[in-house]
Structure 1
Amino acid sequence: MSLTSASPADAAQAAKLASHVLQTLPAAARNEALTAIHDGLVAARDDILTANARDLELARVAAAGGHLSQSLVSRLDLGKKGKWEDMLKGILDVRDLEDPVGRVTLRTRLDDGLELERITCPIGVLLIIFEARPEVIANIASLAVKSGNAAILKGGKESTESFIAISRVISAALESSRVPNGAIQLVTTRDIIPELLALDRYIDLVIPRGSNELVRYIKDNTKIPVLGHADGICSTFLEASADPLLAVEVIVDAKTSYPAACNALETLLVQDSALTTVFPHVAAALAAKGVELRCDAKTKVAALTNASPELAAKVVDAVDTDYDTEFIASILAVKAVADVDEAILHINTHGSKHTDAIITADKALAERFMASVDAAGVYWNTSTRFADGMRYGFGTEVGISTNKIHSRGPVGLEGLMIYKYKLRGNGHITAAYGEAEGQKRFKHEQLPL
């Protein structure tokens, strides 16, 4: 990894050249580089966490002054909730996955001596623009090296100390490997995002990691394809047949295990017939965890009926915009709906196509919900917080995509691959084939992989 102050064009050109070398390296060389990165980070743990603490101190001052959101401060903390351990584990998990480069996914005999193959190959050069989240450097570097992609990383100023400390370790690790150092670059020059977004000649894909404002800005200001999501408005539909204990455990986990995450629950839809049965248990459990419930008229009445003072203090009136808001805080929008059809309509209208769930004992209803909701992830009787590359077994992820093409949901190695077609012949020419008399017909015979 290069800590570069080069011009954006020079950095991107260097990454492009490095990508041509990286994609031809054998899997063993790429895996050795990942082992070196992991071991280097383990050895430098104290230095990196000390640097992260300096970032955190400045971020907390900025948040206290209203210049930085608390959610960004939470995402910045590398020592929180096992982030450090998860980061290290993710590197080894990625290393141990099957090599994604050069896999044959189709073989067809077009004619005798004329065989077509489709093989996986890297996208090329990735531009990763992110706020906070210092673990992103290790995640992206690991996935890029394993998948044969070069990567340019541009982080936010709030994480500068952490980024530099991690990148120095990764740079030293790459110097001891066969992976070109220019394949992974951390751009340190400030205020160059517009210039980077204009480099569609060298950069093949932009992956934003941060606020919805950042993602929207990037999507509006580049010709380069963008993989990511602007909002994480995740909803859960609480259906009348749901088991109360299951509902409480799942919904509380989805909202409170990490409220600043993009896969945290933001909207709870409650079936009318569950308002006086299952919902009061869920509302009380959420309030006990400090969650503010922004309720419509029906759910407010249900929540306040026989409510404890603790619960009553957490119930407030919702406004229309609450159902279109990613709170990334201990706030939950709550709304009553008549049935599954109304729940599906609400989610498809107000959701962000990230991850949505249904809590029900009715299998047929759950399958109908999952088939009808337009989202990258649709779950039954489980927490939306499972929307994560590591939990899916991808090793780690570059982000969550709500795109309708290429890759969707948590994007791991597979999402960083495209494919090319190889055709091997022996003097074959197109003029020999067709429907006219004397012309040959294609065989189009599928061959084993």
Structure 2
Amino acid sequence: MTISPVVAPDSASLSPLVELAKRTRASALQLGTTPTEMRNQALEAIAQSLEAAAPEILAANQADCQTAQEEGLASALYARLKLDETKLRGAIAGVRDVAKLPDPIGVVQIHRELDTELVLKRVTCPLGVLGVIFEARPDAVVQISSLAIKSGNGVILKGGKEAIRSCEALVKAIRQGLQQAGLDPDVVQLLTTREETLELLKLDAYVDLIIPRGSNSFVRFVQENTRIPVLGHADGICHLYIDKAADIPQAIALTIDSKTQYPAACNAIETLLVHQAIAKDFLLQAVGPLQEKSVELRGDTRTLAILPIQPATEADWSTEYSDLILSIKIVDSLEDAIAHINTYGSRHTEAIVTEDEQAAATFMAQVDAAGVYHNCSTRFADGFRYGFGAEVGISTQKMPPRGPVGLEGLVTYKYQLVGNGHIAATYSGPNAKPFIHQDL
């Protein structure tokens, strides 16, 4: 999604979107107080509605894909855009998985008696209204809507123009499911124009969290053009480090999976780091399987002395290809691998392949990333695979939530204090009464 400067609409043209946001906020307030069972029933109704609308949804997506091909959409975006029957079934299964998860609302995190009949609770509650902006990922509509409903939040969705027909068909089915379950369909809204995206970023009075899912430039644009808190990541530059104590067949299998299982995903690796002690043996065995998967290889000077491949440049170390391209760098030590990752990585997901438990422990402690893995593919960095049911996105920020964000990232908490005429003056001054501070 490319954002170019536009003249901001006048206040009169803002009113339809403001009214939509107000309706979403009002319906979200109601949703947040509905019983767990009612929200779960709504999710089942949505799953059934999506199943019934599957032919319409798939036809809409085929039309989007045809237009995308005619317009020369990049292969990585096209892979994300395509919603076939298998992908749709998986998304629907995800809705039902979310329904099975524990209710994140109303969880008492602190229950404490400050003094006799003065009782404090910290209780989880919905954030309010989410604004989610994404590129060519129609399946994100289903994941995000189901998580929002389960967590009692309203959601305003804005998909890329590449997926407009798909998003409209999906949201139509979701809203029908909500209506059939007796809930206000205004809790899920869809925007369709670029101008609405820009205005959504200004609605800090009605929207509590913005979640952008897209290219580096797009996420940065969102972060720089809103006062609403933003959850997300701008890059997915992930590494796999092959340690000198790696099992070579296992390392090859993990490299293939981390790069080729879904190269357009943000958790696919872009750079392979190999310890110099194992480099020749590993690379000579790995090059064939990688090239059989049509992976274009680029290497540093030492890699070029082993493999006849294209040279890597400095720019390659900070590039998210989202394609079948892999840069290779030979390093002298575990410390060098960690330093490279912490310099060029995007704090998304990083992995080490080694049989040396101490090396793995050092890597996992010192690498700065939301996900650090040992002897497994980076492709496991996913809310569904983590058992979250689905995810609204992946966050690489230091403050929580971090990594794949599911239900726990969509709730906040409030402090509830109940007394019996208690006043603060009783607990201050020379004759101050002490607090009990007893957990109940």
8 Å Cα contact 2:31-2:152 kept in structure 1: yes
| Structure 1 residue 282 displacement after superposition | 2.2
* 1:117-128 alignment, distance < 5 Å: 117-128=121-132
CA distance in 2, matches of 1:180, 1:171: 8
CA distance in 2, matches of 1:182, 1:161: 19
Are positions 1:241 and 2:234 aligned together?
A: no
Larger mean CA deviation between 179-188 and 360-369 belongs to: 179-188
| Structure 1 residue 437 displacement after superposition | 3.0
Are positions 1:272 and 2:266 aligned together?
A: no
* 1:423-438 alignment, distance < 5 Å: 423-434=417-428, 436-438=429-431
| Structure 1 residue 296 displacement after superposition | 0.1
TM-score, normalised by the number of residues in structure 1: 0.93
Equivalent in 5, 12, 36 of residue 21 of structure 2: 12
| Structure 1 residue 17 displacement after superposition | 1.1
CA distance in 2, matches of 1:188, 1:236: 38
TM-score, normalised by the number of residues in structure 2: 0.95
Q: Structure 1 117/58 Cα, relative in aligned 2: closer, same or farther at 3 Å?
A: same
Q: Partner of 1:444 in structure 2? A: 437
**1:294-315 residue CA offsets vs partner (Å, 9 max, x unmatched):** 100111212x2xxxxxxx4xx2
**1:23-53 residue CA offsets vs partner (Å, 9 max, x unmatched):** 0011111111101100011111111111100
CA distance in 1, matches of 2:113, 2:416: 12
**1:61-112 residue CA offsets vs partner (Å, 9 max, x unmatched):** 111xxxx3211111000117x3212201110000010111001111111111
Q: Partner of 2:350 in structure 1? A: 356
| Structure 1 residue 6 displacement after superposition | 7.1
CA distance in 1, matches of 2:334, 2:284: 20
For 2:263, give the aligned amino acid.
Answer: P
8 Å Cα contact 1:240-1:278 kept in structure 2: no
Q: Partner of 2:192 in structure 1? A: 188
SS in 2 for 1:191: helix
CA distance in 2, matches of 1:7, 1:235: 45
Q: Partner of 1:114 in structure 2? A: 118
8 Å Cα contact 2:134-2:158 kept in structure 1: yes
| Structure 1 residue 11 displacement after superposition | 1.4
SS in 2 for 1:56: helix
SS in 1 for 2:436: coil
Q: Partner of 1:79 in structure 2? A: 84
Q: Partner of 1:27 in structure 2? A: 36
SS in 2 for 1:438: coil
Amino-acid identity (%): 48
8 Å Cα contact 1:144-1:151 kept in structure 2: yes
Are positions 1:141 and 2:145 aligned together?
A: yes
**1:110-146 residue CA offsets vs partner (Å, 9 max, x unmatched):** 1111111111111110000011111111111100000
| Structure 1 residue 277 displacement after superposition | 2.3
Equivalent in 204, 209, 214 of residue 205 of structure 1: 209
CA distance in 2, matches of 1:184, 1:51: 19
* 1:383-394 alignment, distance < 5 Å: 383-394=377-388
SS in 2 for 1:214: helix
SS in 2 for 1:277: helix
Are positions 1:49 and 2:58 aligned together?
A: yes
Unmatched segments (≥5 aa) in structure 1: 305-311
CA distance in 2, matches of 1:233, 1:377: 12
Are positions 1:231 and 2:235 aligned together?
A: yes
Q: Partner of 2:374 in structure 1? A: 380
Unmatched segments (≥5 aa) in structure 2: 1-13
Q: Partner of 1:130 in structure 2? A: 134
| Structure 1 residue 284 displacement after superposition | 2.5
Q: Partner of 2:410 in structure 1? A: 416
| Structure 1 residue 190 displacement after superposition | 4.0
Q: Partner of 1:307 in structure 2? A: none
| Structure 1 residue 7 displacement after superposition | 2.2
| Structure 1 residue 221 displacement after superposition | 0.5
For 2:304, give the aligned amino acid.
Answer: K
Q: Partner of 2:3 in structure 1? A: none
**1:402-441 residue CA offsets vs partner (Å, 9 max, x unmatched):** 112231000001111111111111111111113x432111
Are positions 1:397 and 2:391 aligned together?
A: yes
CA distance in 1, matches of 2:132, 2:198: 13
8 Å Cα contact 1:387-1:410 kept in structure 2: yes
SS in 1 for 2:288: helix
CA distance in 1, matches of 2:368, 2:194: 38
Q: Structure 1 393/6 Cα, relative in aligned 2: closer, same or farther at 3 Å?
A: farther
8 Å Cα contact 1:100-1:120 kept in structure 2: yes
CA distance in 2, matches of 1:443, 1:293: 66
Supply the RMSD in Å over aligned alpha carbons. Answer: 1.3
CA distance in 1, matches of 2:378, 2:325: 16
SS in 1 for 2:79: helix
Q: Partner of 2:301 in structure 1? A: 297
8 Å Cα contact 1:268-1:333 kept in structure 2: yes
CA distance in 2, matches of 1:126, 1:280: 49
SS in 1 for 2:350: strand
For 1:153, give the aligned amino acid.
Answer: L
Q: Partner of 2:318 in structure 1? A: 324
For 1:443, give the aligned amino acid.
Answer: I
8 Å Cα contact 1:99-1:147 kept in structure 2: yes
